Structure 1
Amino acid sequence: MRSGLLRCGALALLCIAGFAQAAEPDRRIALTIDDLPWQRLGERAEPELDAQHAQLIAALKQTGVPVVGFVNEGKLEVNGQVQPARVQMLRDWLGTGFELGNHTFSHVSMHAVPLEQYEQDILRGEVILRPLLAENGQTLRWFRHPYLQAGRSPEARAELAAFLQRHNYRIAPVTVDNAEWIWAFAYDQVRDTETDPVAREKRLRQLRRGYVPYMLNKLDYYEQRSQELLGRLPAQVWLMHANALNADTVEELVAATRRRGYRFITLEAAMEDPAYLRPEGYNGGAGISWVQRWAMAEKMPKTFYQGEPVVPGWVMKLAGQESE
């Protein structure tokens, strides 16, 4: 009798363990890096650019994560002249095995110019990129909206989608959005202005220690909202930028993400998730996550959007930003 009870208990535990395993979501995420060859290139002096670029490339290679980087070709020029050293930065990405996509020539807002002008900026953004990819046996296929501004109406989105399709592009959405750029601006501000080496490193370390948990909190937030909306966890797409902050932290961030159970997959694999066929319901001017756009199409209540992590005030102040 006792052995029979023990067997039943063991079976129950196995059933419970099996159920828990079955209930565990399939955490998959694709990493994308915007504003190549470098964020804010041309807006500020960056004496450590070569070293920081090399560090970011090496760190990403070390992680073994597939990456699509999105290029603003305008940053390849100085006074209208293409700079071979900046084109080489793109070759470095390709040489590491990463893919490149179009982020428009000038990082123009879709909502700031007529659609025809916006489309011409997309075409200007592929003059160097297409042959560069061809040299590496690749074709240009990905497009990412600057500021994630994708159109104020279904008609505008449809018209742009038709243009992109004619030019063999696929839109690269973002589900895990964040204000990483504000942390990066604060990081650059300290690097640019703090002359005391001890104080400089102390503040940079403080930013690094705050940044990684912030990004993980954002990841958790969109995981929870995705499951609430869809009843499951879709393949996510993460947005980051090419900057000094990520050069110094991306290995730690990737490792921490893996500890949360995530597998890093290609952008192409992420786009196979049927969630990306869902309609968008957002017609505003801001750039927001596709999870939120899908939620608006479903007319989710305002409470759905609450609780999103925000950038701490001290980081906002360092970055010189009043709002996200």
Structure 2
Amino acid sequence: MTSWRPALRRAVILATMAYAPAAHAQSVAFTFDDGPRLETTPLMSPQQRNQALLDALAAHRVQAALFVTCGFGADKPEGYALAKAWGQAGHALGNHTMTHPDLNDAKLSLAQYRQEVQDCDRITASLPGYQKWFRFTYLREGNTPEKRDGMRAFLRQSGYRNGYVSLDTSDWRLDEKLNEVLRADPKADIAPIKQAYLAHLRQRATAYRDLSRKLEGRDIPQVMLMHHNLINALWLKDAIQQFVDMGWTITTPAQAFADPVYQLQPERPAPGQSLLLSIARTRGMGKFEGWERLVDDGDFEINALAAGAGARQQE
């Protein structure tokens, strides 16, 4: 059962028919969560990581979006400067709460979560590139219908767009592995992690493209979730080039969000999902071929890296 009204659904279908010719070619928009971060990582300072991300985007002339978690750095002068640099470079900036709480947490109230959004908004609203876009932390819209519906009403009344993700990635999991390896040995060979990262992005992109065709009968402009972290600072330029080599075009987040699919409001019976997975489950699609690779949080790649490391030790 869907949570959108029949009239809205008919309007979305009609708008999709009108939009389809312009969206024929597969495209992707790059969006990043949880930045800017001021934490210490191997190889790069916070300023170097931020600049590396901006340089990679500039090299490919990509206009992206940064969903700011204000308590991770933007609430401090040095972190605010890093976020400001995104807006000055022509990128959009959205809201990802103040401290990144989980709305599915039974101990967190709807009022507390709303306050998180409002507190962060006071900072992001002063940045160049500010957009009234909000992305749920962990892509979770609440552990109760009251939280879900309450936040949807709050966003609507506040003029916010839900910054949906259609192409979810587990780059954060591979980033954790990268940091773990480099902290243990700053001179470690990290080429296998780079290969796993690029292969992971390709696999997820292909799978979500296939899922959009099953659900919508067409290629939608994908909104990809990545993070403001070390792995992307090192290899985002390669990741963008991989999409170009795959024949995908790069679009802006605003252009992607204009697609009618991003007007849908599916129920989310499972926590932390891409919009496409939520639509699939709302429509009763059930488990489909390859679904397990979309919900494994990078387990496949992490296990493959461990197996490869074990094989190299035996040589």
TM-score, scaled relative to structure 2: 0.82
The percent identity for this pair of structures is 25
Question: For the residues of structure 2 that align with 1:234 and 1:217, how far apart are their CA atoms?
Answer: 17
Question: Does 2:119 correspond to 1:124?
Answer: yes
Residue matched to 1:14: none
Conserved in 2, the CA contact under 8 Å of 1:76 and 1:86?
A: yes
Residue matched to 1:295: 280
Question: For the residues of structure 2 that align with 1:313 and 1:287, how far apart are their CA atoms?
Answer: 22
Q: How does 1:135-284 map to 2 (within 5 A)?
A: 136=128, 138-195=129-186, 197=187, 200=188, 202=189, 204-284=190-270
Which secondary structure state, in structure 1, belongs to the residue aligned with residue 281 of structure 2?
Answer: helix
Conserved in 1, the CA contact under 8 Å of 2:196 and 2:305?
A: no
CA deviation string 1:197-229 (max 9, x = no partner)? 2xx1x1x11111221011111100111111112
By how many angstroms is 1:158 displaced? 2.4
1:155–1:283 CA distance, 2 compared to 1 (3 A): farther
1:86–1:46 CA distance, 2 compared to 1 (3 A): farther
Residue matched to 1:27: 26
**In the alignment, residue 165 of structure 2 is paired with which amino acid?**
V
Conserved in 2, the CA contact under 8 Å of 1:152 and 1:283?
A: no
By how many angstroms is 1:243 displaced? 1.0
Conserved in 1, the CA contact under 8 Å of 2:68 and 2:97?
A: yes
Question: For the residues of structure 2 that align with 1:243 and 1:147, how far apart are their CA atoms?
Answer: 16
Which structure: larger Rg?
1
For the aligned residues, what is the CA RMSD? 2.4
Question: Does 2:70 correspond to 1:85?
Answer: no
Q: How does 1:300-319 map to 2 (within 5 A)?
A: 300-303=285-288, 306=291, 308=293, 310-315=300-305
Conserved in 2, the CA contact under 8 Å of 1:226 and 1:232?
A: yes
Conserved in 2, the CA contact under 8 Å of 1:279 and 1:297?
A: no
Question: For the residues of structure 1 that align with 2:290 and 2:51, how far apart are their CA atoms?
Answer: 38
**In the alignment, residue 94 of structure 2 is paired with which amino acid?**
G
CA deviation string 1:131-178 (max 9, x = no partner)? 22xxx3x54311011111112355432221111122221111111112
Question: For the residues of structure 2 that align with 1:213 and 1:46, how far apart are their CA atoms?
Answer: 23
Which secondary structure state, in structure 2, belongs to the residue aligned with residue 229 of structure 1?
Answer: helix
Conserved in 2, the CA contact under 8 Å of 1:56 and 1:246?
A: yes
- Which of these residues, 62, 65, 76, is aligned with residue 65 of structure 1? 62
Conserved in 2, the CA contact under 8 Å of 1:281 and 1:295?
A: no
By how many angstroms is 1:270 displaced? 1.1
Question: For the residues of structure 2 that align with 1:305 and 1:116, how far apart are their CA atoms?
Answer: 38
Gaps of at least 5 residues in structure 1 are 1-21, 319-324
Which secondary structure state, in structure 2, belongs to the residue aligned with residue 185 of structure 1?
Answer: helix
Q: How does 1:29-68 map to 2 (within 5 A)?
A: 29-38=28-37, 41-42=38-39, 48-68=45-65
By how many angstroms is 1:315 displaced? 4.5
1:306–1:90 CA distance, 2 compared to 1 (3 A): closer
Conserved in 1, the CA contact under 8 Å of 2:178 and 2:231?
A: yes
1:317–1:73 CA distance, 2 compared to 1 (3 A): farther
CA deviation string 1:213-252 (max 9, x = no partner)? 1111110011111111221111111000011111111111
Gaps of at least 5 residues in structure 2 are 1-20, 295-299, 309-315
1:107–1:315 CA distance, 2 compared to 1 (3 A): farther
**In the alignment, residue 281 of structure 2 is paired with which amino acid?**
M
Question: Does 2:88 correspond to 1:103?
Answer: no
